[in-house]
Amino acid sequence: MQLAATAAANCSCSRVVYVGNIPFHAAEDELRCACELIGPIRSLRVATDPATGKRKGYAFVEYADDETARSACRNLDGHFLRGRNLRVGLAGRQGRRRRGDDDPVGMEDAVHAACLVTGKPLDSVTRYLAAQSTRDLRQMMATLEGLDSDTARLLKEHLPGLATLMEQAKHLLDMAATDAAAAKEARDKKRPASACQPTAEASNDDHAAKIRKMEHGGNFKSAVSAAGVACF
Protein backbone atom coordinates (compact mmCIF):
# COMPACT_ATOMS: atom_id res chain seq x y z
CA MET A 1 0.00 0.00 0.00
CA GLN A 2 3.05 2.26 -0.22
CA LEU A 3 1.84 4.31 -3.20
CA ALA A 4 -1.57 5.03 -1.67
CA ALA A 5 -0.01 5.98 1.66
CA THR A 6 2.45 8.31 -0.06
CA ALA A 7 -0.37 9.86 -2.07
CA ALA A 8 -2.46 10.55 1.02
CA ALA A 9 0.48 12.10 2.85
CA ASN A 10 1.99 14.16 0.05
CA CYS A 11 -0.83 14.89 -2.40
CA SER A 12 -0.79 18.63 -3.13
CA CYS A 13 -4.26 18.78 -4.65
CA SER A 14 -5.92 21.91 -5.89
CA ARG A 15 -8.51 23.56 -3.69
CA VAL A 16 -10.67 24.00 -6.79
CA VAL A 17 -13.06 21.30 -7.94
CA TYR A 18 -14.91 20.92 -11.21
CA VAL A 19 -18.65 20.26 -10.84
CA GLY A 20 -20.29 18.92 -13.98
CA ASN A 21 -23.68 17.64 -15.16
CA ILE A 22 -25.41 20.59 -13.49
CA PRO A 23 -29.10 20.90 -14.45
CA PHE A 24 -29.64 24.02 -16.53
CA HIS A 25 -32.75 24.92 -14.53
CA ALA A 26 -30.94 24.67 -11.16
CA ALA A 27 -30.44 28.01 -9.43
CA GLU A 28 -26.93 29.08 -8.49
CA ASP A 29 -27.97 29.19 -4.82
CA GLU A 30 -29.06 25.54 -5.04
CA LEU A 31 -25.67 24.56 -6.41
CA ARG A 32 -23.92 26.61 -3.73
CA CYS A 33 -25.94 24.93 -0.97
CA ALA A 34 -25.06 21.49 -2.36
CA CYS A 35 -21.35 22.34 -2.45
CA GLU A 36 -21.45 23.76 1.07
CA LEU A 37 -22.65 20.40 2.38
CA ILE A 38 -18.95 19.44 2.23
CA GLY A 39 -17.63 22.64 3.80
CA PRO A 40 -17.39 26.42 3.37
CA ILE A 41 -16.54 27.55 -0.15
CA ARG A 42 -14.44 30.56 -1.12
CA SER A 43 -15.84 31.03 -4.60
CA LEU A 44 -18.26 29.56 -7.10
CA ARG A 45 -17.86 30.24 -10.81
CA VAL A 46 -20.55 28.92 -13.15
CA ALA A 47 -19.34 28.58 -16.73
CA THR A 48 -21.37 30.49 -19.34
CA ASP A 49 -21.13 30.96 -23.08
CA PRO A 50 -19.44 34.33 -23.69
CA ALA A 51 -21.60 35.05 -26.73
CA THR A 52 -25.04 34.09 -25.41
CA GLY A 53 -24.62 34.13 -21.64
CA LYS A 54 -26.21 30.69 -21.41
CA ARG A 55 -24.92 28.23 -18.83
CA LYS A 56 -22.73 25.37 -20.02
CA GLY A 57 -23.69 22.89 -17.31
CA TYR A 58 -20.53 22.96 -15.22
CA ALA A 59 -18.84 25.15 -12.62
CA PHE A 60 -15.60 25.58 -10.67
CA VAL A 61 -15.79 25.70 -6.87
CA GLU A 62 -12.94 26.73 -4.58
CA TYR A 63 -12.82 25.29 -1.06
CA ALA A 64 -10.76 26.47 1.88
CA ASP A 65 -8.12 23.74 1.62
CA ASP A 66 -6.98 20.66 -0.30
CA GLU A 67 -8.53 18.17 2.11
CA THR A 68 -12.01 19.69 1.77
CA ALA A 69 -11.67 19.63 -2.02
CA ARG A 70 -10.71 15.94 -1.90
CA SER A 71 -13.68 15.31 0.38
CA ALA A 72 -15.95 16.96 -2.21
CA CYS A 73 -14.61 14.55 -4.85
CA ARG A 74 -15.44 11.59 -2.64
CA ASN A 75 -18.74 12.74 -1.13
CA LEU A 76 -20.32 15.25 -3.52
CA ASP A 77 -19.72 13.21 -6.67
CA GLY A 78 -23.05 11.62 -7.60
CA HIS A 79 -25.07 14.05 -5.46
CA PHE A 80 -28.64 14.29 -6.82
CA LEU A 81 -29.65 17.78 -7.88
CA ARG A 82 -32.88 18.45 -9.76
CA GLY A 83 -32.95 15.16 -11.61
CA ARG A 84 -29.22 14.82 -12.30
CA ASN A 85 -26.22 13.31 -10.53
CA LEU A 86 -23.39 15.82 -10.21
CA ARG A 87 -19.93 14.86 -11.43
CA VAL A 88 -17.11 16.22 -9.28
CA GLY A 89 -13.36 16.13 -9.86
CA LEU A 90 -10.30 18.13 -8.90
CA ALA A 91 -9.34 21.02 -11.17
CA GLY A 92 -6.19 23.03 -11.79
CA ARG A 93 -3.55 20.57 -10.61
CA GLN A 94 -0.34 22.55 -10.75
CA GLY A 95 2.26 21.64 -13.36
CA ARG A 96 0.30 18.75 -14.82
CA ARG A 97 0.70 18.11 -18.53
CA ARG A 98 -2.61 17.51 -20.28
CA ARG A 99 -2.60 14.24 -22.21
CA GLY A 100 -4.51 13.03 -25.23
CA ASP A 101 -7.11 10.28 -25.16
CA ASP A 102 -4.60 7.71 -26.41
CA ASP A 103 -1.72 8.64 -24.09
CA PRO A 104 -1.13 6.68 -20.85
CA VAL A 105 -2.62 8.58 -17.92
CA GLY A 106 0.71 8.28 -16.10
CA MET A 107 1.77 7.43 -12.59
CA GLU A 108 1.22 10.96 -11.26
CA ASP A 109 -2.50 10.90 -12.02
CA ALA A 110 -2.92 7.26 -11.02
CA VAL A 111 -1.36 7.95 -7.62
CA HIS A 112 -3.42 11.12 -7.37
CA ALA A 113 -6.61 9.10 -7.95
CA ALA A 114 -5.45 6.56 -5.35
CA CYS A 115 -5.70 9.18 -2.61
CA LEU A 116 -9.34 9.84 -3.50
CA VAL A 117 -10.78 6.33 -3.26
CA THR A 118 -12.61 5.13 -0.17
CA GLY A 119 -10.87 1.73 -0.14
CA LYS A 120 -7.18 0.79 -0.17
CA PRO A 121 -5.97 0.51 -3.76
CA LEU A 122 -3.24 -2.01 -4.45
CA ASP A 123 0.05 -0.68 -5.81
CA SER A 124 -0.21 -3.18 -8.66
CA VAL A 125 -3.62 -1.74 -9.61
CA THR A 126 -2.28 1.82 -9.51
CA ARG A 127 0.62 0.85 -11.79
CA TYR A 128 -1.76 -0.95 -14.14
CA LEU A 129 -4.08 2.06 -14.41
CA ALA A 130 -1.11 4.38 -14.95
CA ALA A 131 -0.28 2.47 -18.15
CA GLN A 132 -3.81 2.77 -19.56
CA SER A 133 -5.02 5.59 -21.79
CA THR A 134 -8.20 7.56 -21.16
CA ARG A 135 -9.79 5.75 -24.09
CA ASP A 136 -8.81 2.36 -22.57
CA LEU A 137 -10.32 3.36 -19.23
CA ARG A 138 -13.59 4.43 -20.86
CA GLN A 139 -13.85 1.10 -22.67
CA MET A 140 -13.02 -0.85 -19.51
CA MET A 141 -15.59 1.02 -17.43
CA ALA A 142 -18.24 0.66 -20.15
CA THR A 143 -17.67 -3.11 -20.15
CA LEU A 144 -17.77 -3.44 -16.37
CA GLU A 145 -20.78 -1.18 -15.95
CA GLY A 146 -22.56 -3.05 -18.72
CA LEU A 147 -22.53 -6.33 -16.78
CA ASP A 148 -25.76 -7.54 -15.29
CA SER A 149 -26.10 -7.07 -11.53
CA ASP A 150 -25.54 -10.74 -10.62
CA THR A 151 -22.35 -11.03 -12.67
CA ALA A 152 -21.05 -7.73 -11.28
CA ARG A 153 -21.76 -8.87 -7.72
CA LEU A 154 -19.98 -12.20 -8.22
CA LEU A 155 -16.96 -10.50 -9.72
CA LYS A 156 -16.70 -8.08 -6.81
CA GLU A 157 -17.02 -10.96 -4.34
CA HIS A 158 -14.26 -13.00 -5.98
CA LEU A 159 -12.08 -10.01 -6.89
CA PRO A 160 -12.03 -7.87 -3.72
CA GLY A 161 -10.00 -5.11 -5.37
CA LEU A 162 -12.37 -4.68 -8.31
CA ALA A 163 -14.66 -2.12 -6.67
CA THR A 164 -11.66 0.01 -5.69
CA LEU A 165 -10.18 -0.32 -9.19
CA MET A 166 -13.45 0.91 -10.69
CA GLU A 167 -13.59 3.85 -8.30
CA GLN A 168 -9.98 4.76 -9.04
CA ALA A 169 -10.58 4.51 -12.79
CA LYS A 170 -13.66 6.72 -12.45
CA HIS A 171 -11.59 9.40 -10.71
CA LEU A 172 -9.09 9.26 -13.56
CA LEU A 173 -11.88 9.74 -16.10
CA ASP A 174 -13.25 12.63 -14.06
CA MET A 175 -9.79 14.23 -14.11
CA ALA A 176 -9.73 13.93 -17.89
CA ALA A 177 -13.21 15.49 -18.13
CA THR A 178 -12.12 18.29 -15.81
CA ASP A 179 -9.06 19.05 -17.93
CA ALA A 180 -11.16 19.06 -21.11
CA ALA A 181 -13.71 21.45 -19.58
CA ALA A 182 -10.99 23.79 -18.30
CA ALA A 183 -9.27 23.80 -21.69
CA LYS A 184 -12.56 24.57 -23.44
CA GLU A 185 -13.28 27.43 -21.06
CA ALA A 186 -9.80 28.86 -21.72
CA ARG A 187 -10.43 28.69 -25.48
CA ASP A 188 -13.83 30.35 -25.09
CA LYS A 189 -12.27 33.22 -23.14
CA LYS A 190 -9.87 33.89 -26.02
CA ARG A 191 -12.65 33.71 -28.62
CA PRO A 192 -14.31 37.04 -29.54
CA ALA A 193 -17.90 37.44 -28.39
CA SER A 194 -18.96 37.46 -32.03
CA ALA A 195 -16.95 34.92 -33.98
CA CYS A 196 -18.21 35.91 -37.39
CA GLN A 197 -18.62 39.61 -38.26
CA PRO A 198 -18.37 41.35 -41.64
CA THR A 199 -15.11 43.25 -41.95
CA ALA A 200 -15.11 46.92 -43.00
CA GLU A 201 -13.78 45.92 -46.42
CA ALA A 202 -16.49 43.29 -46.85
CA SER A 203 -19.13 45.83 -45.82
CA ASN A 204 -17.84 48.28 -48.45
CA ASP A 205 -17.89 45.56 -51.08
CA ASP A 206 -21.44 44.68 -50.08
CA HIS A 207 -22.49 48.31 -50.45
CA ALA A 208 -20.83 48.47 -53.88
CA ALA A 209 -22.67 45.32 -54.91
CA LYS A 210 -25.99 46.93 -54.03
CA ILE A 211 -25.14 49.97 -56.12
CA ARG A 212 -24.20 47.76 -59.08
CA LYS A 213 -27.50 45.93 -58.74
CA MET A 214 -29.46 49.16 -58.87
CA GLU A 215 -27.42 50.48 -61.78
CA HIS A 216 -27.33 47.36 -63.90
CA GLY A 217 -30.24 45.27 -62.66
CA GLY A 218 -27.89 42.36 -62.04
CA ASN A 219 -28.39 39.39 -59.73
CA PHE A 220 -27.87 40.85 -56.26
CA LYS A 221 -27.50 37.44 -54.60
CA SER A 222 -24.64 36.51 -56.92
CA ALA A 223 -22.96 39.86 -56.31
CA VAL A 224 -23.06 39.45 -52.52
CA SER A 225 -21.76 35.92 -52.85
CA ALA A 226 -18.84 37.21 -54.90
CA ALA A 227 -18.12 39.95 -52.36
CA GLY A 228 -18.10 37.46 -49.45
CA VAL A 229 -18.12 37.93 -45.69
CA ALA A 230 -14.80 37.58 -43.88
CA CYS A 231 -15.00 35.42 -40.75
CA PHE A 232 -12.31 35.12 -38.09
Query: Which pLDDT value is given to residue 152?
Result: 87
* Bridge-based pairing state of the strands 84-85 and 55-63: unpaired
Distance CA 79, CA 71 (A): 13
Query: Which pLDDT value is given to residue 225?
Result: 39
SS3 214: helix
Distance CA 59, CA 55 (A): 9
Give me the average pLDDT of each 10-residue run along the chain (232 residues): 54 77 94 96 90 88 90 91 90 63 87 78 88 94 91 86 88 82 74 52 54 49 37 31
**Nearest in space to 15 (alpha carbons), one of 78, 79, 67:** 67
Query: Which pLDDT value is given to residue 226?
Result: 38
Query: Which pLDDT value is given to residue 220?
Result: 35
Query: Which pLDDT value is given to residue 46?
Result: 92
SS3 200: helix
